[in-house]
Amino acid sequence: MAARSDIIESMPRFAKRGLAVMAAVALSLSCSRSGPVRSARRVGVPPDLLRTMEDGPDAGMGPIQFVALRPYDRARDLEVLLFASGSPVFSGIVLPGRWVPLVSAWAEPFPVKGFAKVRPDVMESLRSGRGLLALPITLDGALLVYRSDLWDELRLPAPRSLAALREAALHLSARRLELSKPIVSDVPADQLFWDLAWSYAGQASPELYSYPKVHALGFIKEFGLAQEPGPEPAGEQLLLQGHSAALFCTAIEARKLLAPGSPRASTLRAARIPSMQASGHCIYSGWCLARPLGSDLGKVSWAGMSGERYQRYLKEHGCEPVLQDEKDGGDGVSVAFASTQFHAPPDLGEGGDEVVLGAILDATQGSMDAEEALRRAEARVRRRAG
């Protein structure tokens, strides 16, 4: 087994930055409780999910102490550090599915049996040659929420394809001056890039320089969708304030917008990522439970959170279940996801994510067009692989 210093050296550059700070946080977490609670298995969770997990039914894993990961804007660095260093602080950590590949080298896989009712595409997005890299808990990814009142008023075709959405946005911005940004996004720019390109092509593929990728990046550039979401999602606020007509967001965000009592709930509608095909495609980013090597979660019933009882509880609390045939969402989110295929993030090797983000910035904030930016990015990925 490699020495711990070698493991830390192999960590992605973003995780090595601030290592001392993250180590201090991990140490404080390990020392923050004492006494009988130490007999409970500690599971790190996002702060917004803490109360839901604490109040949930028995998942069959024995006593669990859920601990909020704070500050959560640095959670990705902390999670990689905890996994890579072999820290015993947590028996498991709940993280978004799109981050699972970052810790896969240091994660102890789950057996693939016991998940017959979980959606096959979700299972495939978490599967490796060693087993299941993480336990799927909720279903999430990008979808579109749009103002159906504007579409109905101007008799616009539903935004089922990227071309239909673009034409509607241009038509609306010309007719309704208050729509300063007809389309907005609270989805990270690189995730939205893959989702739009895959849906346009009708399949998931890792290459960067192709017509679907150029088309998707051109769309992102045209409507200024490369803004990273902040503490208060700018896109959501623009939609609610009437300055936008359509929003790319997550299922959790969409459910809040569509919930009874939301300011525009009666005028909003959810739809899958626009696609020319029968299905949309997007990166799986639902909540997952991953466990570090040597975790004592290997000694207990590990499939409880994906079981029917626990999934029903999560649905009652605004989360989307990962089980098959869960189509009765009432707010359109489940219907949108029923015609969506979920995938693991593309594997572009070390630094690949930075290359993709660089290409997006070159096109949206620099002087390059989408084609040149992606051609250069593809060349960079090939050089690194070589």
Q: Could you give the domains of the chain?
A: 4-118+128-136+289-304 (no CATH), 142-282+348-385 (3.40.190.10)
**Measured CA distances, 169 to 19, 90, 198 (Å):** 44, 47, 21
Q: What is the pLDDT of residues 121-132, one digit of tens each?
A: 999 999 998 899
pTM of the model: 0.88
Instruction: Return the pLDDT at 160.
Output: 95
Instruction: Return the pLDDT at 154.
Output: 93
Instruction: Return the pLDDT at 281.
Output: 98
Instruction: Return the pLDDT at 9.
Output: 44
Please provide the average confidence, as pLDDT, over all residues in the chain: 87
**Measured CA distances, 353 to 86, 250, 267, 347 (Å):** 24, 20, 36, 9
> Rounded to an integer, what distance in angstroms lies between the CA atom of residue 196 and that of residue 71?
31
The per-residue pLDDT string of the chain (386 residues; one tens digit each, 9 = 90 and over) reads: 333 334 344 444 444 444 444 444 443 444 344 334 446 889 999 999 999 999 999 888 888 899 999 888 888 888 898 899 988 899 999 999 999 999 999 999 998 888 889 999 999 999 998 899 999 999 999 999 999 999 999 999 999 999 999 999 999 999 998 999 999 999 999 999 999 999 999 999 999 999 999 999 999 999 999 976 555 558 999 999 999 999 999 999 999 999 989 999 999 999 999 998 889 999 999 999 999 998 877 666 677 899 999 999 999 998 999 998 755 545 689 999 999 999 999 999 989 999 999 999 999 999 999 999 999 999 999 998 87
* Three-class HEC string of the chain: CCCHHHHHHCCCHHHHCCHHHHHHHHHHHHHCCCHHHHHCEEEEECHHHHHHHHCCCCCCCCCEEEEECCCHHHHHHHHHHHHHCCCCCCCEEEEEHHHHHHHHHHECCECCCCCCCECHHHHHHHEECCEECCEECCCCCEEEEEEHHHHHHCCCCCCCCHHHHHHHHHHHHHHCCCCCCCEEECCCHHHHHHHHHHHHHCCCCCCCCCHHHHHHHHHHHHCCCCCCCCCCCHHHHHHHCCCCCEEEEEHHHHHHHHCCCCCCHHHEEEECCCCCCCCEEEECCCEEEECECCCHHHHCCCCHHHCHHHHHHHHHCCCCCCECCCCCCCCCHHHHHHCEEEECCCCCCCCHHHHHHHHHHHHHCCCCCHHHHHHHHHHHHHHHHC
Asked whether 262 and 254 are in contact (CB, 8 A), the reply is no
Asked whether 145 and 239 are in contact (CB, 8 A), the reply is yes
Instruction: Return the pLDDT at 303.
Output: 78
Partners of 65 in the β-ladder: 42
